[in-house]
Amino acid sequence: MLDNITVAQADPILSLSAACRADQRSQKIDLGIGVYRDHHGNTPVVQAIKIAEQCLLDKQTTKAYVGLSGNESFNESMINFLIADGNSKSRAVGVQTPGASGALRILADVINLSTPGATIWLSDLSYANHAPIMTAAGLKVRYFRYFDTDTKLVNSEGMIADLKQAGSKDVVLLHGCCHNPTGADLGFEDWKTITKLAQKQGFLPFIDMAYQGFGSSMQEDVQGFRYLAEQVESYVVTYSCSKNFGLYRERTGLAIVVGKTLEQSLAIKSRLLEIARGTYTMPPDHGAALVDIILRDDSLTDNWLSEVESMRQRVKGLRTQLVNVLREKSGNSVFDFIAQHQGMFSVLGISSEQVKALSEQHGIYIVGGGRVNMAGLQESQIDYFADSLLAVS
Ligand SMILES: Cc1ncc(COP(=O)(O)O)c(C=O)c1O
């Protein structure tokens, strides 16, 4: 029965960390997996989460099942936090999921239920797991031009030209902010143009929001999304609490659906719950319960917001320092784009041979395609990283 199973390919990002761990060189640097690290190279538990955990420990009286949609109080808090006072909130429903990964999958499943084999447009490049999740759900993937390999910024013209081909039965997936892997974000004008296209052509905007707070600020990072949300008939969102609440392993995410009417949103929600029931049944509660405690307490919310802001500042600072050192050492401004990128990642535009040389010759591990996790760098490593990068360039 199981004789036909062959070994699957290792996940390219997760296997990088293992390769780095096995490396005996003292100067090795792991810039692969998308995890924030502090000055000491640690990924600490967010302070507000620690406080919320104590509170949960004191007040929780049962570990009985929650429900298929997870923690409904969390769903409501997150919708309030993300959509704020936008009008589309009155049509929004939420389903808590095991990470945003779970949300990506159940939303893809429900789209495929509605329009089997529908096309979902992804940016070229996009998060490594987008295409596998979408195709596993039965959707067809097409790419729109996004990353300009010369400027290392968004190719707005190419993007808009390609999205003009997206029709009323298509879905267009947009990164809400802090684009993974490139670091090149849509500008507000891009959001406006895409909104117009969605209105005219009728495609469904699918927003993946995995890094709110890591770009320009908690509010500015959702400005483009909020503009679009107010103008279009329907949209869906996946939200990850992995990075901004530091809840990576607690698998805390949310799928939001905004249909044409609340009635339609509720019908879609009922199908999402059916899909959840047929797979994992319900998400883990712990992370969502903590986020809910934080978002329902003003002082804990402030505490959390200021910690995210300090993480954001740290990554921004690392970008500036790296650019300055690279400029000084190279005498040119080839890598200046790194300071224009947003969030945790940057695609450096180096070849796979150069990526290989970085790991083999210098013990620096970055994702194939040249994605660097800037949030994994420490100040003391900047010089070595810059020297190594220039040596392979
Ligand atoms: C763009 C994007 N979407 C979704 C996810 C999945 O996040 P989660 O850990 O919440 O499943 C990630 C994780 O890295 C991501 O970068």
Cβ 265 under 6 angstroms from ligand 1: no
Over residues 216-252, the pLDDT tens digits come to 999 999 999 999 999 999 999 999 999 999 999 999 9
* Number of C-beta neighbours around residue 98 at 10 A: 21
CATH code, 335: 3.90.1150.10
Mean of the pLDDT values across residues 329-347?
A: 97
For the chain, how far is it from start to end, CA to CA, in angstroms?
50
Q: Best mutation site among 209, 238, 240 for ligand 1, i.e. most ligand atoms within 8 A of its Cβ? A: 240
Q: Are residues 75 and 189 in the same domain?
A: yes
Average pLDDT estimate for 341-352: 95
Q: What angle is formed at CA 160 by the lines to CA 158 and CA 161, rounded to 5 degrees?
A: 65
333 inside domain: yes
Q: What is the pLDDT of residue 285?
A: 98
Residues spanned by the domain of 160: 65-296
Q: Residue 377 pLDDT > 90, yes or no?
A: yes
Q: Are residues 137 and 276 in the same domain?
A: yes
Asked if the structure places residue 59 within a domain, the reply is: no
**248 CA: nearest ligand 1 atom:** 9
CA of 122 to the centre of ligand 1 (A): 15
How is residue 323 written in tokens?
């650019």
| Residue 387, in any domain of the structure | yes
Contacts of 296 (CB under 8 A, 6+ apart): 73, 77
Backbone angles phi, psi at 103, to 5 degrees: -65, -40
One domain for residues 85 and 234: yes
At residue 35, the pLDDT reads: 93
User: What is the edge-to-edge ordering of all strands in the sheet holding 235-240?
Assistant: 92-98, 252-258, 235-240, 204-209, 171-175, 119-124, 140-145
Residue 140 has pLDDT above 90, yes or no: yes
Same domain, 204 and 327: no
Exposure letters 46-57 (e unless 16+ CB within 10 A, then b)? bebbebbeebbe
pLDDT tens digit sequence for 164-213 = 999 999 999 999 999 999 999 999 999 999 999 999 999 999 999 999 99
From ligand 1's centre to the CA of 240, what distance in Å? 6
Instruction: Please check the confidence at residue 37 and state whether its pLDDT lies above 90.
Output: yes
Average pLDDT over residues 240-265: 98
Query: Is 222 in the same domain as 341?
Result: no
- Which of these three, 241, 274, 296, is where a domain ends? 296
Gap between the Cα atoms of 45 and 42, Å rounded: 9
Query: What does the pLDDT read at residue 254?
Result: 98
Q: 351 and 290: one domain?
A: no
The answer on pLDDT for 113 being more than 90 is yes
Tokens of 346: 């940057």
Mutate to test the pocket of ligand 1, among 105, 146, 242, 252 (most ligand atoms within 8 A of CB): 242
54 found inside a domain: no
Q: For the chain, how many structural domains are there in total?
A: 2
Give CA–CA dist 30/53, Å, rounded: 30
Q: Counting atoms of ligand 1 from 1, which one is nearest the CA of 34?
A: 14
Identify whether 58 is part of a domain. Answer: no
Q: Is the pLDDT of residue 12 over 90?
A: no
Helix, strand, or coil (residue 166): coil
Q: Are residues 287 and 314 in the same domain?
A: no
Report the residue among 106, 180, 346, 367 best suited for mutation to probe ligand 1: largest number of ligand atoms under 8 A from its CB. 180
Inter-residue contact 70 to 201 (CB < 8 Å): no
Please report which confidence band the pLDDT of residue 13 belongs to, taking 50, 70 and 90 as the band edges.
confident
- Going by pLDDT thresholds of 50, 70 and 90, the confidence category of residue 115 is very high
Is pLDDT above 90 for 368? no
**What pLDDT band is residue 15 in, cutting at 50, 70 and 90?**
confident
Instruction: Provide the β-strand partners of residue 171.
Output: 120, 204
Q: Answer whether residue 56 is part of any domain.
A: no
How many CA within 13 A on the CB side of residue 87? 9
Q: Could you read off the pLDDT of 69-86 as tens digits, one per residue?
A: 999 999 999 999 999 999
The verdict on the CB of residue 34 being under 6 Å from ligand 1 is yes
Asked if residue 349 has its Cβ within 6 Å of ligand 1, the reply is no
The answer, yes or no, to whether residue 10 has pLDDT greater than 90, is no
Are 249 and 334 contained in the same domain? Answer: no
In this structure, is residue 304 part of a structural domain?
no
Q: Are residues 220 and 247 in the same domain?
A: yes
Greater model confidence, 79 or 11: 79
Measured CA to CA, the distance from residue 138 to residue 194 in angstroms comes to: 25
User: 269, 296, 323: which is the final residue of a domain?
Assistant: 296
Domain boundary among 265, 296, 327: 296
Does any ligand 1 atom lie closer than 6 A to the CB of residue 253?
Answer: yes
Q: Is residue 322 part of a domain?
A: yes
Looking at the fold, whether 109 and 245 belong to one and the same domain comes out as yes
CATH number at residue 108: 3.40.640.10
Task: Verify that 258 and 317 share a domain, yes or no.
Answer: no
Q: Sign of dihedral through CA atoms 377, 14, 275, 194? A: positive
The answer to whether residues 71 and 167 belong to one domain is yes
Cα 1 to middle of ligand 1, angstroms:
34
Q: Which two tokens stand for residue 372?
A: 């660097």
